[in-house]
Homo-oligomer: A and B are copies of this chain.
Amino acid sequence: MTTGHEYVHGYSDFERTRLVDQATTLTEILHFDTSYPPGSLILEAGCGVGAQTVTLASRSGGAAILSMDISAESLAAARERTRSAESTNVVFQQADLYSLPFHPESFDHVFVCFVLEHLARPGEAMAGLKKVLKPGGTITVIEGDHGSVYFHPESRHARSAIQCLIDLQARAGGDSLIGRSLYPILIKAGFQNVRVSPRMVYVDASRPDLVDGFTRKTFTAMVEGVGDRAIASGMIDADTWNRGIRDLYRTAEADGTFCYTFFKAVARKSGERE
């Protein structure tokens, strides 16, 4: 017998799903559960221009964050961004992910977001980060997966345009399909308690913030950004490209839908916490 209580419980479970499924911004979808305890020291490896740094700093106001990147230019932009956001708990350092300048077991937690996709040797980077992590500390890795994209209406031109982005990233030594591989990468690097949580972004007209903020201005804009290189390299002809981009924007219309999945992995370094 279903009781009134169980019915309410069923509805409450639905509310829980809704929290995740219907978050209206990418930041909520990726970071609603990114939070570190006061007093902890966090390494943000590969902060780039600081797109995630501000969120990290505000969601863990009591933690100290060391954000590093190999590019001085990116670090300058990240510094400016955290200054504008009035973050007071972030310091920056220029460093190479493959040759970290930190003592072993320096950090309570490590945070890596949209970095592995650009690396030729993600496993080596993970092993280096494990060294500077304290025993019992966690690593959080967030990556996209361009092979997780599908949409309505379907379009082979749009698929060809997306494939250019995937191929260009592969030529540059990266892997834009890395999201689905986080589990084996972290296991192979010797991490324990590896838990991967997919963060699917599902977009239809009932979610106007995501139609505009994700389908148009994040994903399609990103594909559009490699158009000149893709056409110049002979990967695709201009007509197919233009039609592909038009078809991606078409999925943002009232009867269109769009799907993309990010993967968030959290794993632990073995050993007792200090």
Contacts and interface: CB of A to CB of B under 8 A. Distances in A.
A12 to B, nearest CB: 9
A184 interface: yes
A155 B205 CA distance: 34
Interface string A128-171: 00000000000000000101101110100000000000000000
Nearest to A7: B37
A200 B197 contact: no
A2 interface: yes
A206 B184 contact: no
Q: Is the interface of A mostly helix, strand, loop or mixed?
A: mixed
Contacts of A254: 187
Nearest to A32: B13
A62 B181 contact: no
B38 A2 contact: yes
B259 A198 contact: yes
Interface in A169-209: 177, 180-181, 183-184, 187-188, 194-198, 200, 202, 204-206
A21 B61 contact: no
Given A7-B37, A197-B18, A197-B21, A62 B2 contact: yes
A195 B200 contact: no
A147 B155 CA distance: 13
Contact of A205 (B17, B38, B183, B205): B183
A219 to B, nearest CB: 15
Interface of A: 1-4, 6-7, 10-11, 13-14, 16-22, 32-38, 59-63, 145, 147-148, 150-152, 154, 177, 180-181, 183-184, 187-188, 194-198, 200, 202, 204-206, 254-257, 259, 261
20 contacts: A2-B38, A4-B38, A10-B34, A11-B33, A17-B33, A18-B195, A151-B180, A152-B181, A154-B177, A183-B204, A183-B255, A183-B257, A184-B204, A184-B256, A187-B254, A188-B255, A196-B202, A196-B206, A197-B202, A200-B200
